[in-house]
Structure 1
Amino acid sequence: MADKKRRITSVDVAREAGLSRATVSFVLNNTPGQSIPEATRQRVLQAAARLGYTPYAPARTLRSGRSDVALFVLPDWPQGHTMAALVDRAAQVLGEAGLTLITHVHAGHDDELARLWSALSPAAVFGMRPFTAEELEAMRRVRIPAVLPPSEQPGYDVSDTLWINGVGRLQARHLIAKGHERLAYVLPDDPRLAALGRGRAQGAAQACAEAGLPEPVVSTIAMDAGSAAEAVASWRGVPTAVCAYHDEVALALLAGMRVLGTSLPVIGADDIPAARFAVPPLTTVAQDSGEIGEHIARALLRALNEEDPGLDLLPADVIHVVERESA
């Protein structure tokens, strides 16, 4: 029996099974083109199980030229429950395919990602925002097999395509269908969310333009009732309904309107658990983040198999309005 204080190696498995190191290596590495009898293969696997053998990741990386890691590069956003659901489902799908998902929040520092590519040699990389030309070149140098968005679309912003612009459009369309012709769009004052906020507000503006209506009045608030009340008071009654960047902003607006003793229809986004307990219960745009995560993971797996990833092909109902009493 091998010494339990050190890592169990294929040499130990070969000794335990009474077979050559070459045969054991072929079985443990699932080497193609080898005719190993099934009885011999089972003998190796049983010996490996008895010893508690696990493959040594750095050695496997050297042999294959890459690790069994899939890397999600996330922008420096607040990581709420929607992103957690996306990552959890993606990890499950990739795990079933033998890949380990690692997430990295990228703050935009020079050479940060290049060092990450070199350290991990990932099998696949997904970016929640477009990679720069320099980042793409660094990935090409280390021969990462699958990169999404694909390198031939360096300006493609997957986050906008999936749930940013579309959320704003759905919010505005819901209010317009209720007969509202002048809307406001309210954003949080968190600088990390500035680009996302612009995307959602632009989506609402597009919906208004399609309906022949003026662009929404855009306001930015701190996350407290006083700031929300100031924004509502500044509109002087012109907007008749409000799109909030997310449910937390919507809750702040409801609190601010209570301070003023007024009310306007409000629609949020993300359908956080507290939304249904708001006063009034909050109408919101829900996002099936788990389905989006699965979609991204399967696109990465197709790219690894040198197939068309089909990243754009999301079901139309992956985001949808949950109507409650606030709008």
Structure 2
Amino acid sequence: MRKRTTLKDVAQEAGVTAATVSYVINNTPGQSIRPETRRRVLQAVRRLNYMPNAHARTLRNRTVPCVGVVLRRNLSVPRFSQMAFGIQTRLEEEGYNVLLLGNRADALGHADYASAYLAGRVGGIIFIGIENEGPDPESLKILSDESAPLVVFDCQQQADTYSTVDLDYRGGARLITSRILERGCRRVLYLRPQVDTAQERLREQGVRDICEASGAELLVREAPIDLHNIDVWDERYTVGSTEDGIKLSEELIETARDLLTEAEDGDAIITSWATWTHFFRKIAPERNLIYAELANNGENWLAANFYTRLPNYETGIACAEEVLSLMRGGAPSARIIKLTNVIEPKLEPRRH
């Protein structure tokens, strides 16, 4: 391992005293630092990749009873709130607190979760990926050099120095597609977002696997939702219908109309995301079609004939258990969570 950059190294690089460096990086109250001096110190910090390390100084022989959860997503979205609750519940059972981190750069230009670990504020980290993107390479190296307990969720990555937890998107899509084709469907229309991530590729591949194996025809179409407007789509969980959100919903409705013109009675329409089948039912409630959703978090359980209930709470518990294992000296592992909870809701007639 290369020699760690010290406070004195930064001071020498910036041409100031070690005390001045300490005042700048800690934003010490009552110290008047000239803007030019502060700028030189921060530039030296970034050039030398210096990070204060409380673990190295004082925390090597004791446990920090807090786990950092990196989650830069809208917590009003059921998937993320359910998972966060699972993490919190399991960690609290073991006497640990949770520190929510947003994966933002701190004053020194480093990711907040790497800084939080080195500053001794957390003893382990659960990183929840954004559209299957994991920690940045610089932060991974910092945490790896420190043997930091790290669990990465939903990034579909292989790793040796940290644990991973992933969902079996392909297997889940295969299972629900098989259930649909058992109904006698010979053609499947699959609607997915305009998002090129491992999650979406695996889902489509699972649908494709079963259609090819059974000889069913598969048509793949894309909804007008992508990485640039996904936050607009999620806003309906917090502020309701916004002008941009209504416009996006109208575009999705038009996509559904177009898809319905291609569909024939007896076909199946599978959507990658939850709530989309509601638009089809709203447009053409009389059509003899089978609807399915590959992911449902409890938002909409009557529009689809089949849906896969995502194990979000259970996944949160799994991530918490993995980070606890690492914090207690366990070896990194890779956990795959199967998506087997395919539900076929039945609307019972009202009894008078």
Find the partner of 2:326 among 293, 303, 310. Answer: 303
Instruction: Name the aligned partner's letter for residue 219 of structure 1.
Output: E
Query: Structure 1 residues 298 and 226 mapped into 2: Cα distance closer, same or farther (>3 Å)?
Result: closer
Q: 5 Å matches for 1:86-165?
A: 86-106=83-103, 111-113=110-112, 114-119=114-119, 121-129=121-129, 130-141=134-145, 143=146, 145-149=148-152, 153=159, 158=164, 161-165=166-170
Counterpart of 1:267 in structure 2 is: 292
- 1:172 corresponds to 2:167: no
Secondary structure of the 2:181 match is: helix
Indicate if the aligned counterparts of 2:266 and 2:288 stay in contact, CA closer than 8 A: no
TM norm structure 1: 0.63
Indicate if the aligned counterparts of 2:265 and 2:287 stay in contact, CA closer than 8 A: no
Tell me the C-alpha RMSD between the 2 structures. Answer: 4.0
Indicate if the aligned counterparts of 1:268 and 1:284 stay in contact, CA closer than 8 A: yes
Count how many residue pairs are aligned between Structure 1 and Structure 2: 259
Find the partner of 1:256 among 280, 283, 299. Answer: 283
1:288-315: CA deviation from partner (whole Å, max 9, x where unpaired): 322222122111111222224544264x
Greater Rg over alpha carbons, structure? 1
Counterpart of 1:218 in structure 2 is: 221
**Following the alignment from structure 1 to structure 2, what is the Cα–Cα distance between the partners of residues 106 and 241?**
40
**Following the alignment from structure 1 to structure 2, what is the Cα–Cα distance between the partners of residues 183 and 155?**
41
* Larger CA deviation: 303-312 vs 240-249: 303-312
Amino-acid identity (%)? 14
**In the TM superposition, what is the alpha-carbon distance from 1:72 to its structure 2 partner?**
2.5
Counterpart of 2:209 in structure 1 is: 206
**Following the alignment from structure 1 to structure 2, what is the Cα–Cα distance between the partners of residues 320 and 181?**
24
- 1:320 corresponds to 2:347: no
Indicate if the aligned counterparts of 2:149 and 2:323 stay in contact, CA closer than 8 A: yes
Find the partner of 1:289 among 306, 312, 329. Answer: 312
TM norm structure 2: 0.59
**Following the alignment from structure 1 to structure 2, what is the Cα–Cα distance between the partners of residues 60 and 256?**
59
1:94-123: CA deviation from partner (whole Å, max 9, x where unpaired): 122222223334479974344454455531
Query: Structure 1 residues 252 and 288 mapped into 2: Cα distance closer, same or farther (>3 Å)?
Result: same
Give the helix-richer structure, 1 or 2: 1
**In the TM superposition, what is the alpha-carbon distance from 1:245 to its structure 2 partner?**
1.6
Structure with more relative contact order (C-alpha pairs < 8 Å, separation 6 or more): 2
**In the TM superposition, what is the alpha-carbon distance from 1:88 to its structure 2 partner?**
0.8
**In the TM superposition, what is the alpha-carbon distance from 1:285 to its structure 2 partner?**
0.7
**Following the alignment from structure 2 to structure 1, what is the Cα–Cα distance between the partners of residues 221 and 343?**
23
Query: Structure 1 residues 229 and 284 mapped into 2: Cα distance closer, same or farther (>3 Å)?
Result: same
Indicate if the aligned counterparts of 1:205 and 1:216 stay in contact, CA closer than 8 A: no
